[in-house]
Amino acid sequence: MTVSATDFTPNVAPLVFGDETPEERAQIVEDYMARNLAILRDEREALERDAEEREAKPRADNDNEPAGIKGAPLPVICPADWHGKPVPERQWFIEGLIPSRTVTILNGDGGVGKSLLALQIGAAASLGVDTIGLTPARGGVVYLGAEDEADEFHRRLADIVASHHRTLADLSSFRLIPMADRDALLAVPNKDGVMQATHAWQSLRTIVARYTPRLLILDTSADLYGGDEIKRAQVRGFIAMLRGVAMEFDCAVLLLSHPSLTGMQSGSGSSGSTAWNNSVRSRLYLTRPSGEDADSNARTLSVMKANYGETGSGLSLRWKDGAFVADDGIATGDLAIVTKHHDDVFMTILRKFSVQGQNVSANTGPTYAPSKFASQPEAKGIKRKQLADAMQRLLDAGRIRMVTEGRASRQRSRLVVDDAPSN
């Protein structure tokens, strides 16, 4: 007989005493507790079995809602109640690629660099900088890596921060959990095939609650998911766990995963059951070109699924000095010529602005130099990010500098050419 939450009324008899001795009363209490605790346990187990059976039933592919609290009433909303209220803006970690409050999968063949790319995106968020032409939300990051040791992460992060002219000391909001030598499974199926959280999951959730990151990176699903790759209910149960944390702590979850053989052959990058693709709102695929003459340092990041954006778009990347950079199609031998041209254009526009009395700054804001310069005719299509890179190179070389002027109560900073007099 099926037991529902509303049927859960323990069959517990009242405890009544007569003229028993203290020893006899103690024995009565002991028997009473043993008998009624067994009744409570049996009824609770029946309730849980019934709930697990309902959770294990097949669902439609587009059914992505989490299971919710067992026995809780269903939420019912009348859209008419929203009339006159502002429509909430969609939240992104990286606009168009990684939405907040849900799970994104990053697929990639072994050795293609998906761990490095995820680490680089996380570091950029912690540093508050752009990377590979993308602007991550600024904030804390928790990275659980089950494939590499701490020393490997140390080497990679050192290269990444160096590419931004920063140091490891600037990663104060980054938390790394290396699990290469430990059991990293976050969920495993019970005897009935229903996914259950492990001690590692509970520990991870505690860490997320403590640091409240903007991004949680999980590397990789093969090490963290203890279920069957092709069992839809188990896959969906695992993704629902991750999505629950994303919603509860208002963060994005990026799950790294290897594609299946079929996914690699078809070019879709999918893995195992279709539930992996169907259960997430966004899926990315990092690939390298094939063929004998292919560039071993080239990569493409493709958007394979985007419920909230456009699919089919791709971002060309190149591995350089331990990190990925945006690849604009310029041959490596010509990069020095191109960067010099960008530097010269920046200097030309800065001199023009100085003559005109227009002050610009290296600090982001209304007078941010790269943003102001990108709209000038001298820029001729050079993008804001490229001008920002030129500005940093010129600052590092001492060809331009920041000067601070004005009274202490109203000081202002502006960029000047180093050989130009400052007032």
Residues 6+ apart with CB under 8 A from 363: 413
Q: Is the pLDDT of residue 7 over 60?
A: no
Please state the rounded mean pLDDT for residues 349-362.
Answer: 93
Greater pLDDT, 271 or 8: 271
Please state the rounded mean pLDDT for residues 300-305.
Answer: 91
For the sheet containing 314-320, what is the strand order? 174-178, 141-145, 215-219, 252-257, 103-108, 282-287, 298-306, 314-320, 323-326
The pLDDT tens digits for 175-214 are 999 999 899 999 999 999 999 999 999 999 999 999 999 9
Q: What percent of the chain has pLDDT above 70?
A: 79
What pLDDT, on the 0 to 100 scale, is given for residue 221?
Answer: 95
Q: Is the pLDDT of residue 390 over 80?
A: yes
Q: Report the mean per-residue pLDDT for the chain.
A: 84
- 64-73, 121-130, 206-215, 278-287: range with lowest mean pLDDT: 64-73
Q: Is the pLDDT of residue 329 over 50?
A: yes
The Cα–Cα gap between 186 and 205 comes to 10
State how far the alpha carbon of 79 is from the alpha carbons of 62, 76, 88, 101, in Å: 21, 10, 14, 22
Q: Which pLDDT band, with edges at 50, 70 and 90, does 314 fall under?
A: confident
What pLDDT, on the 0 to 100 scale, is given for residue 1?
Answer: 42
Please state the rounded mean pLDDT for residues 39-63.
Answer: 59
The pLDDT tens digits for 121-133 are 999 999 999 999 8
Q: Residue 287 in contact with residue 269, Cβ under 8 Å?
A: yes
Q: Residue 238 in contact with residue 229, Cβ under 8 Å?
A: no
257-276 exposure pattern, b = at least 16 Cβ within 10 A, e = fewer: bbbbeebbeeebbbbbbebb
- Helix H segments across 69-133? 114-127
Residues 6+ apart with CB under 8 A from 390: 339, 342, 343, 345, 346
The pLDDT tens digits for 219-241 are 999 999 999 988 999 999 999 99
Q: Is the pLDDT of residue 327 over 70?
A: yes
Q: Residue 237 in contact with residue 195, Cβ under 8 Å?
A: yes
| DSSP reduced 3-state for 234 | helix
Q: Which pLDDT band, with edges at 50, 70 and 90, does 15 fall under?
A: low
What pLDDT, on the 0 to 100 scale, is given for residue 420?
Answer: 47
What pLDDT, on the 0 to 100 scale, is given for residue 64?
Answer: 43
Greater pLDDT, 179 or 64: 179
Q: Is the pLDDT of residue 12 over 60?
A: no
pTM, 2 dp: 0.64
Q: Is the pLDDT of residue 4 over 60?
A: no
The Cα–Cα gap between 333 and 330 comes to 8
Please state the rounded mean pLDDT for residues 50-56.
Answer: 59
Q: Is the pLDDT of residue 394 over 70?
A: yes
